[in-house]
A and B are shown apart, each in its own frame.
Chain A
């Protein structure tokens, strides 16, 4: 292991060699025996580790755990699936009054359009091909 690699591992994993990848630990120990700079680097990493360890640990009391647990299951209880109801007993997704009103309005509009000529409507003529001349180039004839 080179000193550069050693520095990289110390910068990533800190001074505790147990946190280093197991396959590099023996090489790191060998380098520590030989290199003053490696030892200094590890000491430096140990100071950073100490600082990180000095961070306040979160309060993880049993009461707090229970409080969160209870809240989770309260929320789950609110999400209970409704009991199965047959379709013919279930409430219709359409509301009756607006739906009936809409259908009635459409019926009146249709009646006025077709029978009372209130709204402009052009009837289509029946299909009549008696006057049609078919032009065909087959054998030079015109029919």
Chain B
């Protein structure tokens, strides 16, 4: 990072390759769209290049800084897109599918995706950071710039909402009629 801050493009290239995959995954989970995620990650790395000289590494890990930029950009992007016309909105999966289709993992995945997509941005970001990127609460709280207890509250609410939204799915899996 120090070399990249000094204007070394080769070092910046190495840095970009090293963190590209996780940044893309994080952006896509927050924004919910592959092409938007690519644009966000592209802009995030360009922002890092432009401001590399401001990063001093004093206590802040590079990944924390990078993920903070990616998450903030994803949240902004999604807020802007939330005013998109209904045709462009994500398809809402009908929860009342038959028992046969229930065994289709992709269908379950789509239902879970829809439940996560319906969460507020910060809750979704909290889930992505802690469950999918496997960060600790303390690390994730630094990325989102909130206290650890606020981070925990985001996670609790997110899990509760996802669980409530997918309750029909759980009942069907357990063989209980809703």
A: which residues have CB within 8 A of B? 8, 11-14, 19, 47-49, 51-60, 64-65, 67-69, 71-73, 75-76
Give residues of chain B (137-161) contacting chain A, Cβ–Cβ below 8 Å: 137, 152, 155-156, 159-160
CB-based contact A60/B46 at 8 Å:
no
- The main secondary structure of chain B at its interface with chain A is helix
Q: Within 8 Å CB of A58, what residues of B?
A: 24-25, 28-29, 34, 37
CB-based contact B112/A11 at 8 Å:
no
Is B166 part of the contact surface with A, judged by Cβ < 8 Å? Answer: yes
29 CB < 8 A contacts A-B: A12-B152, A13-B130, A47-B170, A48-B162, A48-B163, A51-B115, A51-B166, A51-B169, A51-B170, A52-B112, A54-B112, A56-B106, A56-B110, A57-B25, A58-B25, A58-B34, A60-B25, A64-B38, A65-B21, A65-B24, A67-B38, A68-B38, A68-B41, A68-B42, A69-B16, A72-B42, A72-B46, A73-B9, A76-B9
- The main secondary structure of chain A at its interface with chain B is helix
Beyond A54-B112, A55-B113, 16 extra complex contacts between A and B, CB < 8 Å: A13-B130, A47-B170, A48-B162, A51-B112, A52-B159, A52-B162, A54-B108, A55-B29, A56-B106, A56-B110, A57-B25, A58-B34, A64-B38, A68-B20, A71-B42, A75-B46
B: which residues have CB within 8 A of A? 9, 13, 16-17, 20-21, 24-25, 28-29, 34, 37-38, 41-42, 45-46, 49, 105-106, 108-110, 112-113, 115-116, 127, 130-132, 134, 137, 152, 155-156, 159-160, 162-163, 166, 169-170
Q: How far is the CB of A72 from chain B (nearest CB, A)?
A: 5
CB-based contact B155/A64 at 8 Å:
no
Assembly CA distance A86 to B16 (angstroms): 36
Report the number of A-B residue pairs with Cβ-Cβ less than 8 Å.
93
CB-based contact B24/A51 at 8 Å:
no
> For residue A71, which residue of chain B has the nearest CB?
B42
Assembly CA distance A73 to B105 (angstroms): 38
Assembly CA distance A64 to B24 (angstroms): 9
Q: Within 8 Å CB of A75, what residues of B?
A: 42, 46
**Which one of B16, B108, B137, B163 contacts A72 once the chains associate, using CB atoms below 8 Å?**
B16
> For residue B131, which residue of chain A has the nearest CB?
A52
- Of A11, A19, A57, the most chain B CB neighbours within 10 A belong to A11
- Of A8, A11, A55, the most chain B CB neighbours within 10 A belong to A55
Across the A-B interface, the 6 shortest Cβ-Cβ residue pairs: A58-B28, A56-B109, A12-B152, A11-B156, A55-B112, A54-B112
Q: Within 8 Å CB of A47, what residues of B?
A: 163, 170
Q: Within 8 Å CB of B131, what residues of A?
A: 14, 49, 52-53
CB-based contact A54/B170 at 8 Å:
no
A14-B159, A64-B38 in contact; A69/B17 too (CB < 8 A)? yes
